[in-house]
């Protein structure tokens, strides 16, 4: 907390309305108005006279509100934007709504006018007294027992519900609508009450004095509910003093005195959550007795002095639902106390250190608060600002930070100007000059030549690796050397770790957050540790390593270990550190560079491996394993404890402990412990118990760093089960969601117990990830029966994404139409085994035939696929080997397309009529496909390829025949024509497959110019075409004669 004088300005003198009662600052409100350069002011006298300045440079207008003889207590803003509405409260708990009149009529300055001129009002809730005695009592004493307790403070809160969130901007235009969801929390001398503004109503009331007395009795005077304590408890008096909004409720400042013991008043804070307008919370969720560090004492005999106590909380929002509360300021007549709240307002958690600022030499007038500061008005010194510094701020670190600032230097090519601005801003921040520090940061953002993230990371490395502020590091010459070096448990080294490393780094992180730089740390930066991680991740690593170093150092002092000293010397040797100063120990050198404290892990493992490989006793080996394991447990525990209240939240960024260089030595140590850990350790075996506790702690840490996929079927958990520690293995598998191991463990149970255990795991985890792993396990193990028994949306999703088994489920459910489509799609994707494709297509055909409604188009497609497979199977093996269709490793034949089958057939070395006829049959199957019409060009090309190949098979013979003779009948071309004509294909298909002679002649450049060749080609094609027609004619004649014979013998045809 810091206190500063405000700058001197020329004040405005505003005359308040006349009153016979004393004024308080709480009934005066300064507000800003749209399109106005100067603020406006509203002042309400205790009797209800309102004086309104629309602008402090202009005159005022007076009006009044009928308070029914009540006394005005406070005036509060209702709206945040322009200050157009106000809540007027009275000492007896009546509430009035005031708002600015925007009708446009200008008030007459200095003249008392009606409420419609400038200010409008309406009562919200009144406690008006009707007879003269009650009115007089209210005026003099504020309240009577008949009408409840006196109002101390009215606080406005917004409690938004779903209906309020859905209101449109049009609905909010009227006062009645936009005040819905705004409530008044009234702190009275005996109770807390909640009122709604629209509609105006009292929602609930809670009496807090009794439960406050119980807390004070237990925590101050140790008075319990025993009968002998009853007379002491009856003497306890409670005062509710003040309240502020915090988190989801209010924090109340209370006082208590037990006159039977002492008249001193003790103070406490209590947190009362606000659950909503319908439900009142009747108990404190948090109660903490305060120990204010000042000589100021309050007595029950002078309870009027409590009226000067006030509780302040600088906030920017009136909404109840926020988590920005860090601390409070309590102002008395002579002191301002900053109270740092705990992270969680629960139970009786103590507050943080309370800091105080004194102004006892001056006369206290009053205090107030805005969004940033608490203001204290003093008679002599005027207005002073009291600032609540950010949580974790340590004002004692300025000297240490200045040492880092002077001793550190830029580690790379980062501009020294940029780094200087950052360092200066941090130093100013540490000296509580937050405003100037922020100006320096803004200059840095405007002028910087390198990234802010890189600057912050470099400076953080300077902090953790800086030479300690210790004269021994600067000792040179004989005169400065001592006769003996300081012990490795040097107090200076501990101060160096705690003060100069941990606290300064924490302060630097607080500086980054307070200056709004934290969001800039998500970018990847360069560092000595990594070039592929974000600045946020690196900053978190450095903070955790500082805690690791402190924990390791403290552990080494509690129980010195020979292996630890040897490991430190080994690390220094690898770093090539020169131990040149006699006053320093290896510990000083090692703990001066905390960014590489993890080097100790490999060094410890190396020392352990050397001992285990030597010819030593088993007891000595076990002792070494135990001590090295203890050091690693200290290492990981320090990290885990730091992360419980992490200085830097890494979010989804990669953590340094997820890297192989960190996990590898820990996993090596786990392997060593598992090798030496005896099975089923009992409590009498101290060494075995220690080793087991170490292996559990280290295993938990490693599993926590691994990804979900790495933890499935974890070999670490499997080792626990292998040594008989199935209980530990099961617990770890549950904690870290190793679903596969848990599923595998159920295989040893009977079928009924296994199913029961699986159902319990489904309920325990209740996550889709478990179901996915379960289904994949069944599939991998070939447990189709169990897999088919799985039901639910996740099972449906799994089967839909695993077509290899989805068709089995569809057939099992009788969904043959779906199964046929699934099998056909699966067959088309099987491009590694033609036999598998054939089987799948066969199953698809059967499923399609079993369907209630036959899909003719689907059946044709399946039959076409089967025909294509049949054509491929007719190709000789040697030809398939030439085309690489047959795997030499697995022996499987990959499926081929129609074009590939035709190409393979025509490239057959035998080059006879059979191979070309196979190609034509394949082409015929292509023509049977419904989609063949859209591939007419490809079909023409394939047909031409087949006939050209048939012609080229006898090129030399064609050249001889061109001079005369009829030897052309022996050519493949003519044989293929005859084979086609005599085949069982339909006549239409034969005609389709006949060659286009003119195209063939045009392609045969050399032979095409020979008239004899062209004549033979044309005549043979024409003869084949005529033969097809003749065959059709003869077939028709035979069918006609057969029909006549059948009719003649009396058969119906």
If we measure between CA atoms, which residue out of 509, 505, 585, 575 comes closest to residue 553?
A: 585
pLDDT at residue 318 tops 50: no
> Can you tell me which residue has the tokens 């076409």?
864
The two structure tokens encoding residue 339: 């109270």
> Can you tell me which residue has the tokens 């054939």?
838
- Residues in contact with 874: Cβ distance below 8 Å, sequence separation at least 6, in sequence order: 918
Give the burial string for 731-753 (b: 16+ CB within 10 Å, else e).
ebbeebbbbbbbbbbbeeeeeee
Residue 487: its pLDDT value, please? Answer: 47
Number of Cβ atoms within 10 Å of the Cβ of 840 = 24
- Domain identity same for 861 and 945: no
How high is the mean pLDDT of the chain?
83
Residue 449: its pLDDT value, please? Answer: 63
- Domain identity same for 871 and 949: no
Sign of CA dihedral 407, 413, 416, 418: negative
Output phi, psi for 721, to 5 deg: -70, -35
Answer for the pair 296, 332: CB distance below 8 angstroms, yes or no.
yes
| Separation of alpha carbons 406 and 495, rounded Å | 19
pLDDT at residue 645 tops 90: no
Residue 481: its pLDDT value, please? Answer: 38
| Separation of alpha carbons 138 and 91, rounded Å | 8
How many domains is the chain built from? 5
Check residues 1044 and 234 and name the one with the higher pLDDT: 234
Sign of CA dihedral 116, 120, 124, 129: negative
Reported confidence tier of residue 322, pLDDT bands at 50, 70, 90:
very low
- Domain identity same for 562 and 444: yes
Per-residue pLDDT tens for 239-297? 999 999 887 889 999 999 998 888 999 999 999 998 888 888 888 999 999 998 878 88
Helix (H) or strand (E) holding 636: helix 618-644
- Domain identity same for 625 and 686: yes
Question: E strands along 126-177, which residues?
Answer: 151-158
Sign of CA dihedral 626, 628, 630, 636: negative
Helix intervals (H) in 789-912 = 793-800, 803-812, 816-829, 834-850, 856-873, 877-882, 898-906
* Percent with pLDDT over 70 in the chain: 85
If we measure between CA atoms, which residue out of 551, 540, 533, 534 comes closest to residue 509?
A: 540
Residue range(s) defining the domain that contains residue 830: 805-896
Q: Name the DSSP class of 477.
A: S
Q: Average of pLDDT values for 1007-1015?
A: 74
Of 845, 870, 896, which one is at a domain's C-terminal end?
896
- Residues in contact with 357: Cβ distance below 8 Å, sequence separation at least 6, in sequence order: 1, 3, 335, 336, 386
Number of Cβ atoms within 10 Å of the Cβ of 295 = 9
CA 536 vs CA 461, 539, 642, 706: distances in Å: 13, 5, 15, 20
Sign of CA dihedral 105, 109, 111, 112: positive
The neighbouring-strand residues paired with 156 are: 184
- Domain identity same for 231 and 352: yes
- Domain identity same for 918 and 987: yes
Per-residue pLDDT tens for 783-811? 999 999 999 999 999 998 888 899 999 99
pLDDT at residue 868 tops 50: yes
If we measure between CA atoms, which residue out of 229, 257, 253, 399 comes closest to residue 313?
A: 253
Please give the angle made by the CA atoms of 194, 195 and 200, to the nearest 5 degrees: 165
Per-residue pLDDT tens for 923-965? 999 888 877 888 888 999 999 999 999 888 887 777 776 555 6
Check residues 907 and 113 and name the one with the higher pLDDT: 907
- Domain identity same for 462 and 530: yes
Check residues 501 and 891 and name the one with the higher pLDDT: 501
Residue 918: its pLDDT value, please? Answer: 92
Residue 641: its pLDDT value, please? Answer: 94
Give a yes or no: residue 163 inside a domain.
no
- Domain identity same for 882 and 947: no
Per-residue pLDDT tens for 139-166? 444 444 444 578 999 988 887 654 444 4
The two structure tokens encoding residue 545: 């390593």
Per-residue pLDDT tens for 45-79? 999 999 999 888 888 999 999 988 899 999 988 86
Greatest mean pLDDT among 1-10, 312-321, 481-490, 777-786 lies in 777-786
Q: Average of pLDDT values for 201-217?
A: 90
Reported confidence tier of residue 315, pLDDT bands at 50, 70, 90:
low
Residue 258: its pLDDT value, please? Answer: 92
| Separation of alpha carbons 980 and 147, rounded Å | 116
The two structure tokens encoding residue 82: 């322009």
Range 612-617 contact pairs with CB under 8 angstroms and sequence separation of 24 or more: 612/672
> Can you tell me which residue has the tokens 């006769």?
483
| Separation of alpha carbons 850 and 842, rounded Å | 12
> Can you tell me which residue has the tokens 């025993």?
226
Output phi, psi for 39, to 5 deg: -75, 165
Residue 483: its pLDDT value, please? Answer: 38
| Separation of alpha carbons 276 and 196, rounded Å | 11
Check residues 88 and 478 and name the one with the higher pLDDT: 88
CA 913 vs CA 689, 919, 951, 989: distances in Å: 84, 10, 11, 19
What's 282's domain CATH number? 2.130.10.10
Of 130, 148, 166, which one is at a domain's C-terminal end?
148
Of 308-322, 468-482, 540-554, 902-916, give the lowest mean pLDDT range: 468-482
Per-residue pLDDT tens for 413-430? 456 788 888 999 999 999
**224 burial level (CB within 10 Å; 0-12, 13-18, 19+):** exposed
Reported confidence tier of residue 44, pLDDT bands at 50, 70, 90:
very high
Answer for the pair 755, 709: CB distance below 8 angstroms, yes or no.
no
- Domain identity same for 123 and 272: no
Number of Cβ atoms within 10 Å of the Cβ of 756 = 13
- Domain identity same for 300 and 374: yes
Give a yes or no: residue 952 inside a domain.
yes
Give a yes or no: residue 731 inside a domain.
no
| Separation of alpha carbons 1021 and 509, rounded Å | 92
Give a yes or no: residue 754 inside a domain.
no
Helix (H) or strand (E) holding 1018: helix 1011-1048
The two structure tokens encoding residue 268: 């406490």
Q: Name the DSSP class of 386.
A: E
Answer for the pair 97, 124: CB distance below 8 angstroms, yes or no.
yes
- Domain identity same for 495 and 611: yes
Answer for the pair 1012, 963: CB distance below 8 angstroms, yes or no.
yes
pLDDT at residue 105 tops 90: no
**Between helices 715-722 and 726-735, what is the axis angle to 10°?**
160
Answer for the pair 607, 570: CB distance below 8 angstroms, yes or no.
yes
> Can you tell me which residue has the tokens 């770093």?
575
> Can you tell me which residue has the tokens 């403290």?
554
Helix (H) or strand (E) holding 434: helix 434-447
| Separation of alpha carbons 98 and 89, rounded Å | 11
The two structure tokens encoding residue 309: 């106590």
Give a yes or no: residue 474 inside a domain.
yes
Answer for the pair 900, 880: CB distance below 8 angstroms, yes or no.
no
Reported confidence tier of residue 1016, pLDDT bands at 50, 70, 90:
confident
What's 877's domain CATH number? 1.20.58.1380
Greatest mean pLDDT among 2-16, 748-762, 1002-1016 lies in 748-762
The neighbouring-strand residues paired with 186 are: 154, 193
- Domain identity same for 877 and 1013: no
Give a yes or no: residue 759 inside a domain.
no
pLDDT at residue 227 tops 80: no
Give a yes or no: residue 794 inside a domain.
no
- Residues in contact with 853: Cβ distance below 8 Å, sequence separation at least 6, in sequence order: 817
Per-residue pLDDT tens for 445-498? 887 766 899 999 999 999 998 777 666 666 644 334 343 444 445 566 777 787
Answer for the pair 986, 938: CB distance below 8 angstroms, yes or no.
no
- Residues in contact with 527: Cβ distance below 8 Å, sequence separation at least 6, in sequence order: 457, 461, 533, 538
Give a yes or no: residue 925 inside a domain.
yes
Give the burial string for 792-818 (b: 16+ CB within 10 Å, else e).
eebbeebbeeeeebbbbbbbeeebbbb
Per-residue pLDDT tens for 958-985? 777 655 566 778 888 899 999 999 888 8
| Separation of alpha carbons 450 and 260, rounded Å | 69
Of 131, 148, 165, which one is at a domain's C-terminal end?
148
| Separation of alpha carbons 111 and 108, rounded Å | 6
User: Does residue 204 have a cis bond before it (omega within 30 degrees)?
Assistant: no
The two structure tokens encoding residue 775: 């289904």
Output phi, psi for 420, to 5 deg: -65, -40
Q: What is the length of the chain?
A: 1053
* Percent with pLDDT over 90 in the chain: 39
């Amino acid at each position: 907390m810091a206190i500063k004088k405000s700058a001197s300005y020329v004040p405005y003198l505003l005359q308040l309305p006349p009153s016979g009662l004393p004024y308080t600052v709480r009934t005066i409100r300064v507000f800003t108005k749209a399109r106005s350069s100067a603020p406006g002011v509203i002042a309400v006298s205790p009797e209800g006279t309102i004086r309104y300045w629309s602008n402090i440079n202009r005159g005022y207008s007076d009006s009044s509100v009928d308070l029914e003889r009540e006394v005005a207590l406070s005036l509060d803003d209702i709206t945040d934007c322009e200050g157009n509405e106000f809540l007027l409260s009275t000492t007896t708990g009546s509430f009035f709504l005031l708002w600015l009149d925007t009708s446009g009529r200008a008030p007459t300055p200095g003249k008392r006018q009606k409420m419609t001129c400038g200010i409008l009002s309406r009562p919200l809730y009144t406690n008006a007294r009707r007879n003269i005695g009650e009115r007089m009592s209210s005026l003099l004493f504020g309240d009577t027992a008949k009408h409840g307790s006196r109002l101390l403070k009215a606080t406005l809160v917004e409690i938004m519900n779903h209906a309020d969130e859905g209101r449109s901007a049009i609905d909010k235009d009227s006062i009645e609508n936009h005040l819905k969801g705004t409530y008044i929390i009234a702190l009275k001398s005996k109770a807390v009450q909640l009122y709604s503004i629209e509609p105006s109503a009292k929602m609930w009331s809670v009496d807090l004095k009794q439960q406050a007395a119980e807390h004070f009795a237990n925590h101050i005077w140790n008075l319990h509910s025993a009968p002998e304590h009853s007379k002491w408890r009856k003497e306890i008096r409670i005062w509710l003093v003040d309240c502020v909004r915090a988190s989801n409720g209010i924090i109340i400042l209370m006082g208590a005195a037990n006159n039977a013991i002492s008249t001193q008043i003790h103070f406490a804070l209590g947190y009362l959550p606000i659950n909503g307008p319908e439900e009142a919370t009747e108990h404190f969720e948090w109660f903490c007795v305060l120990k204010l560090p000042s000589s100021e004492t309050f007595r029950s005999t002078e309870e009027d002095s409590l009226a000067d106590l006030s509780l302040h909380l600088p906030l920017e929002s009136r909404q109840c639902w926020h988590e920005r509360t860090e601390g409070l300021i309590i102002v008395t007549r002579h002191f301002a106390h900053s109270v740092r709240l705990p992270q969680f307002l629960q139970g009786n958690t103590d507050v943080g250190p309370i800091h105080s600022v004194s102004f006892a030499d001056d006369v206290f007038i009053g205090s107030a608060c805005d969004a940033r500061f608490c203001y204290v008005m003093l008679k002599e010194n005027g207005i002073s600002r009291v600032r609540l510094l950010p949580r974790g701020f340590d004002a004692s670190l300025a000297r240490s930070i200045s040492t880092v600032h002077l001793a550190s230097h830029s580690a790379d090519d980062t501009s020294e100007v940029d780094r200087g601005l950052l360092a200066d801003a941090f130093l100013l921040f540490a000296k509580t000059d937050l405003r100037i520090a922020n100006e320096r940061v803004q200059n840095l953002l405007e002028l910087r030549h390198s990234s802010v993230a890189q600057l912050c990371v470099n400076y953080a490395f300077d902090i953790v690796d800086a030479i300690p502020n210790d004269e021994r590091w600067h000792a040179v010459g004989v005169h400065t050397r001592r006769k003996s070096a300081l012990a490795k448990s040097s107090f200076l080294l501990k101060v160096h770790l705690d003060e100069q490393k941990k606290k300064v780094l924490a302060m630097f992180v607080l500086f980054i957050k307070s200056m709004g730089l934290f969001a800039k740390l998500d970018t990847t930066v360069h560092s000595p540790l990594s070039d592929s991680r974000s600045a946020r991740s690196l900053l978190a690593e450095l903070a955790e390593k500082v805690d690791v170093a402190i924990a390791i150092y403290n552990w080494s002092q509690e129980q010195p270990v020979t292996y630890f000293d040897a490991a430190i010397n080994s690390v220094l040797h690898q770093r090539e550190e020169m131990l040149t100063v006699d006053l320093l120990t290896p510990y000083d050198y090692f703990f001066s560079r905390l960014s590489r404290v993890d080097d100790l892990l490999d060094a410890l493992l190396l020392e352990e491996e050397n001992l285990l490989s030597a010819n030593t006793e088993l007891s000595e080996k076990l002792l070494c394993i135990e001590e090295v394991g203890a050091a690693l447990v200290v290492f990981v525990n320090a990290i885990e404890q730091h992360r419980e209240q992490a200085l830097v939240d890494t979010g989804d960024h990669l953590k340094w402990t997820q890297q192989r260089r960190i996990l590898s030595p820990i996993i090596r140590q786990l392997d060593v412990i598992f090798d030496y850990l005896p099975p089923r350790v009992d409590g009498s075996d101290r060494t075995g118990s220690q080793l087991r506790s170490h292996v559990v702690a280290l295993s938990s840490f490693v599993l926590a760093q691994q990804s979900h996929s790495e933890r499935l079927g974890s070999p670490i958990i499997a080792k626990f089960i292998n040594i008989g520690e199935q209980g530990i293995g099961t617990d770890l598998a549950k904690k870290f969601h190793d679903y596969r191991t848990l599923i595998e463990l159920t295989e040893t149970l009977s079928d009924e117990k296994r199913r029961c255990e699986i159902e319990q795991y489904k309920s325990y985890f209740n996550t889709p990830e478990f179901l996915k792993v379960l289904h994949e396990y069944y599939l991998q193990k070939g447990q189709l029966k169990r897999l088919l028994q799985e039901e639910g949306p996740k099972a449906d999703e799994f089967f839909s994404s695993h077509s290899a088994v989805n068709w089995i489920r569809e057939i099992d459910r009788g969904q043959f139409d779906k199964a046929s489509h699934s099998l056909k799609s699966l067959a088309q994707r099987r491009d590694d085994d033609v036999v598998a494709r054939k089987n799948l297509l066969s199953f698809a055909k059967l499923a399609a035939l079993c369907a209630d409604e036959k899909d003719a188009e689907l059946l044709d497609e399946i039959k076409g696929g089967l025909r294509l497979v049949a054509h491929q199977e007719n190709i000789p093996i040697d030809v398939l080997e030439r085309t690489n269709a047959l795997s030499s490793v697995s022996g499987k034949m990959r499926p081929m397309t129609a074009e590939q089958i035709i190409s393979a057939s025509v490239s057959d070395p035998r080059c006879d009529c059979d191979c070309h006829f196979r190609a034509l049959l394949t082409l015929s199957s292509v023509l049977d496909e419904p989609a063949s019409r859209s591939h007419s060009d490809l079909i023409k090309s394939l047909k031409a390829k087949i006939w050209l190949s048939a012609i080229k098979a006898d090129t030399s013979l064609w050249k001889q025949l061109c001079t005369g003779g009829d030897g052309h009948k022996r050519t493949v071309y003519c044989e293929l024509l005859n084979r086609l004509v005599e085949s069982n294909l339909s006549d239409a298909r034969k005609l389709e497959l006949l060659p286009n002679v003119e195209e063939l002649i045009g392609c045969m450049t050399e032979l095409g110019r020979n008239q004899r060749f062209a004549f033979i080609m044309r005549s043979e094609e024409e003869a084949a075409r005529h033969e097809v027609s003749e065959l059709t004619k003869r077939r028709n004649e035979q069918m006609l004669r057969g029909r006549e014979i059948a009719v003649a013998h009396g058969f119906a045809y």
